[in-house]
């Protein structure tokens, strides 16, 4: 097959991990007789430096016209001034919104070989295999009004947590369908004891659940979910939740697998191109040293093959290659090993 893939390496370790994933995609293309056309664009801090904005119209347009988008990371101390008029993260949020990718899938599977890399006790980690479905284009990140004002000469700031019925319905439906294809358990995570938006979320979720009688639905308050995610993580199958709750819970979930560097994500809308990115950030402290763990991005490329290109066998092959490399003890520094980004990528390529 032929596909156009836009690469957005971004900032920090982004370029290093994206080029590792491109090597894997190129190997997949060679073996399967596919042609992937790659084009590279700016996003985040590097776009601010070059163009004064974190996401140019040109980058957004290229992404909208692509079959899929692979992103590294955005941000860094250089652009962290809280009074700056533009921030790298705005580029990422505008891209997610501009692509309409409302569903962010974050699979979390503990690899047996890496149990010791997690601070949790091994018996807690056995059998952990869950997916967080994070709503990505609404909620606290996008609600209006947001901004600053002055009240009696004192500064005031506002963010708004807003959801419409339609926004809740489409993400919850997607989560139910995913649960149907797995262990048929869905935990809807909210804060319905306090937030009106969560009470609507719960209502709509119950309504949608009527269409999925084979899936066991439970409602979990987000504070309890945070606790259960470390107390009994293996009990979760699919979790679905608001944008910011999902952001927080998936960083917590990364502790289960041993490193932020391992977790991939797929952001999907209805139709259009998918956006694929590791859940980790730009890691400015190790940027440019060639030691970043490429697995999160390589596994994101596997999700790209599966969800945007329909290449299931190829996706599984990439996932197996990563698993086997880890099995054989090929480990980057974040996992207690000594391999750099390139050496780790070679290990994965050899097993592909
Ligand atoms: C993530 C990140 C982003 C988010 C940041 C970089 C804006 O933390 O993808 O989890 O909060 O969504
Ligand atoms: Mg995050």
Which ligand lies nearest the alpha carbon of 281?
A: 1
| DSSP conformation class of 255 | H
Residues having CB within 6 Å of any atom of ligand 1: 75, 89, 92, 247, 279, 281
Q: Is 251 a catalytic residue?
A: yes
Q: For 260-318, what is each residue's pLDDT tens digit?
A: 999 999 999 999 999 999 999 999 999 999 999 999 999 999 999 999 999 999 999 99
pTM: 0.96
Rounded to the nearest angstrom, the distance between the alpha carbon of 248 and the centre of ligand 2 is 6
Domains of the chain: residue spans and CATH? 1-101+267-352 (3.40.718.10), 119-257 (3.40.718.10)
Q: Which ligand is nearest to the CA of 74?
A: 1
- Return the structure tokens found at 193: 């004891």
**Measured distance CA(169)–CA(172) in Å, rounded:** 5
Backbone phi and psi for residue 108, each to the nearest 5 degrees, phi listed first? -130, 105
Q: What is the pLDDT of residues 323-342, one digit of tens each?
A: 999 999 999 999 999 999 99
- The two three-digit tokens of residue 274, written as one number: 């998918």
Place of tokens 């997949």: 28
Residue 179, token pair as written in the block: 């649960």
Catalytic residue among 163, 191, 276, 334: 191
Average pLDDT across the chain, whole number: 97
């Amino acid at each position: 097959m032929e596909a156009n893939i836009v690469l957005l390496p971004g900032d920090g370790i982004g370029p290093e991990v994206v080029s590792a994933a491109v090597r894997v995609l190129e190997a997949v293309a060679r073996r399967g007789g596919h042609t992937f056309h790659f084009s590279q664009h700016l996003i985040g801090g590097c776009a601010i430096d070059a163009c004064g904005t974190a996401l140019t119209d040109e980058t957004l347009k290229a992404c909208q016209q692509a079959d899929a988008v692979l992103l590294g990371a955005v941000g860094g101390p250089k652009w962290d001034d809280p009074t700056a008029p533009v921030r790298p993260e705005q580029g990422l949020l505008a891209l997610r919104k501009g692509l309409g990718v409302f569903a962010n899938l974050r699979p979390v599977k503990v690899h047996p070989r890496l149990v010791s890399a997690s601070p949790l006790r091994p018996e807690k980690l056995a059998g952990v295999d869950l997916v967080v479905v994070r709503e990505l284009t609404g909620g606290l990140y996008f609600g209006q009004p947001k901004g600053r004002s002055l009240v009696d000469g004192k500064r005031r700031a506002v963010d708004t947590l807003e959801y419409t019925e339609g926004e809740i319905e489409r993400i919850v439906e997607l989560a139910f369908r995913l649960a149907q294809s797995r262990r048929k358990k869905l935990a809807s995570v909210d804060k319905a004891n306090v937030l009106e938006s969560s009470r609507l979320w719960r209502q709509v979720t119950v309504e949608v659940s009527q269409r999925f009688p084979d899936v066991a639905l439970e409602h979990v308050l987000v504070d309890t979910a945070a606790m259960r995610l470390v107390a009994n993580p293996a009990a979760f199958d699919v979790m679905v939740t608001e944008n910011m709750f999902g952001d927080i819970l998936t960083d917590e979930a990364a502790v289960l697998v041993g490193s932020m560097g391992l977790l991939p994500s797929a952001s999907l809308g209805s139709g259009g191109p998918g956006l694929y990115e590791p859940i980790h950030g730009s890691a400015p402290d190790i940027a440019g040293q060639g030691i970043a763990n490429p697995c999160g991005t390589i596994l994101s490329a596997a999700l790209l093959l599966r969800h945007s290109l329909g290449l299931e066998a190829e996706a599984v092959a990439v996932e197996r290659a990563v698993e086997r490399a880890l099995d054989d003890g090929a480990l980057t520094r974040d996992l207690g090993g000594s391999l750099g980004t390139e050496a780790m990528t070679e290990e994965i390529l050899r097993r592909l």
